[in-house]
Every structure is written in structure tokens, then in C-alpha cells.
Structure 1
Amino acid sequence: MTIEEMKSQIDKDVKENAVVLFMKGNKEFPQCGFSARVVQILNQHGANFVTRDVLADPVLRDAIKQYSDWPTLPQLYIKGEFIGGCDIVTEMAQKNELAPLLS
């Protein structure tokens, strides 16, 4: 799959799923501390979410960074909107700004 085809797939994933986390690993087995932290936060909020493992596909790993124009992972999307990475999600959770987006 080309980068452009993958960006189309990412767009489809983001539009078809209310909450999508592009991460290293998956929600059962996160492969980095930052991804694990965001999964933990989403679970604490009772969020129903899907994950996409960027380690399983180098094209996905490159395409998601271009799609969001954001250089790091994980990347959280809620209702089609890019929210941010671990630091932003953590800060939003601490300020009680995340829960309203997830409801």
C-alpha cells in the first residue's frame, strides 16, 4: 500500500470510529510507555476505542505522521478530530477536558 492509499485508510478509520488511537502495539499489549499511558487514560474514562498498531506496518507509521502533521506517537482521534499525543491527552484528562469529548 502506498502512503496516499494508507492516508485514505486512516481517514476512513478516523471517520468510521468515534475514538481511534494510533499507537505502538495494541490496547491489550502496548509496546511503549506513552501508548500504555493513553490506553490507561481511555480505559479509566470507560471509552470504547479501537487501536491501530503502527509497529505492524511501516507505511502506516509514516502515513499517520503525515496525515496529522504531528511527528510523534501515539495519536488520539475523537469524533474525527486529532486530539494529540500522550502529553496533551494526559493534561486534558487532568483538567477534566477529555471526558466531555468521549461522551
Structure 2
Amino acid sequence: MSDVQQRIDDLVKSSRVMLFMKGTAQFPMCGFSGRAIQILKASGAPEIKTFNVLEDEGVRQGIKEYANWPTIPQLYIDGEFVGGSDIMMEMYESGELQQLLAKA
């Protein structure tokens, strides 16, 4: 595992709810990242830890390889990859995301 991949792995496992996004929860820098934050808040997510991929090119590229998922944002819950904003919206609408978050 490369240094970047190890760093990403540590970040993913550092918090129950981890969102790799463009910008911050307070100031999203793309519509998809903003929607992801809104979905998590609406789902009653406890503490949401975020990582701004625009501040670290290594993580920005490495996270795509880490989950074999080409886009950002990327949500991880309990160290497991959940998906991007479209998948998060589908899970929210079905109630699956709220159930997953409530397991904590």
C-alpha cells in the first residue's frame, strides 16, 4: 500500500462517518458535495468528518483508486465505501441511509 493509500485508509477509519468532498461542510465547492452534506444532515448523521480533496492532490487522485470509484464526493460509514451523492440520495429516499447511520 502506497503512502497516499495508507493515509486515505487511516482517514476512512478515523471517523464513523467520513466524507471526501470538494470544499468543506460549511462551504462546499461543488453542487454534488453540497448535496451530500445536505443528505447527511437530513439523515440525522451524528458527527460528520470531511476531507477537502481540493487541498491535497494526492488524496484527490488516490481516493478514486482506493474505492475504485471515479467521482467525488465519496461517503464512508464504519470504514466501508457507501457511494457518491446519487447513491446517497437513493439510499436516503428509501430510508436505507438513515438505518445505516442509526446503527452507531
The Cα RMSD (Å) is 1.1
Aligned residue type for 1:74: P
5+ residue gaps, structure 1: none
Runs of 4+ with deviation above 2 angstroms: none
**Distance in 2 of aligned mates of 1:4 and 1:37:** 31
Aligned: 1:57 with 2:56: yes
Unaligned runs of 5+ in 2: none
Asked if the contact 1:4/1:63 (under 8 Å) is kept, the reply is no
Residue 8 of structure 1 corresponds to 6
Find the counterpart in structure 1 of residue 81 from structure 2: 82
Q: TM-score, normalised by structure 2?
A: 0.93
SS of match in other structure, 1:51 = strand
The size of the alignment, in residue pairs, is 101
Partner Cα distance (2:31, 2:14) in 1: 27
- What is the TM-score of this pair, normalised by structure 1? 0.94
CA deviations 1:64-91 (Å, max 9, x no partner) are 0010100001000000100000100000
